[in-house]
Structure 1
């Protein structure tokens, strides 16, 4: 005996609406989460390292560019070394962590000098690197 349904046939749009909703949610999710990558806005060529460090997601970004003047940037704005010291001193209540994005061709002494300045002012310091190419 063959069973037959007395229900009316449903429109195919009824089944595509949840599919489109899921695709839209995934698209929005990936578009918004792509902004969570920390970038300084200044193009530097990072040195390579196998180490990884977590917990610096809301840290201040100090960028040391390559070249003879080795320009300094604090959170994307160009700044001099005395101004950097004043900005770091003024931030007593905020986040006390700093990531140093130094170009691999920047003078090593300058990079260490900036790191020591932040350490002396009570900041935790991390040096930005990239994983080695394999």
Structure 2
């Protein structure tokens, strides 16, 4: 015995609409969420200071991370001290400013070496710090 439905046929749009809605929501989600992605990087606990850094908008960033081997990073890529020298020499025609992100636990001798290297090669060097909540009183 063959059973037959006596209900009226549903429009195909009834089934396609939720699918299009889900695709649209996923599209909007991926378009807007890509701007909120935080790039992973090197964790550096910077020293505190009440000074402000201006004029270094497009500067190269040199990061000195803590550790036994004192890793160096130039614009987010790990380099040795010799490779850092080469990159700074290659980039002398472009932006001539560097911001040095150094961890509070990084040896101050290494920070001074990097600052001296940048200045010897004709760069303006600035040390990055974390702002304090209240101005420092001397």
Same fold (TM over 0.5): yes
Distance in 2 between residues matched to 1:112 and 1:97, nearest whole Å: 16
SS of match in other structure, 1:91: helix
CA deviation vs aligned residue, 1:95-118 (integer Å, no higher than 9, x gap): 000000000000000011001000
CA distance in 2, matches of 1:73, 1:43: 12
Partners of 1:40 and 1:75 within 8 A in 2: no
Q: Secondary structure of the residue that 1:45 maps to in structure 2? A: coil
Deviations 1:46-75 (A, max 9, x none): 000010120101000000001121100000
Alignment TM-score, normalising by the size of structure 1: 0.69
Between structure 1 and structure 2, the one with the greater Rg is 2
Q: Give the conservation status (yes or no) of the 8 Å contact 1:40–1:61.
A: no
Distance 1:122 1:56 in 2: 15
Inter-partner Cα distance in structure 1 for 2:56 and 2:40? 13
SS in 1 for 2:63: strand
Give the match for residue 48 of structure 2.
48
Offset at residue 42 of structure 1 (A): 1.4
SS of aligned partner of 1:62: strand
Q: Which runs of 5+ in 1 are unaligned?
A: 1-27
C-alpha deviations, 1:76-133, integer Å up to 9, x for none?
A: 0000000000100011221000000000000000011001000000000000000124
Counterpart mapping for 1:24-103 below 5 A: 41-103=41-103
Q: Report the count of equivalent residues.
A: 101
Deviation at 1:40, TM superposition (A): 8.9
Query: Please, which runs of 5 or more residues in structure 2 have no aligned partner?
Result: 1-31
Superposed CA RMSD in Å reads 2.2
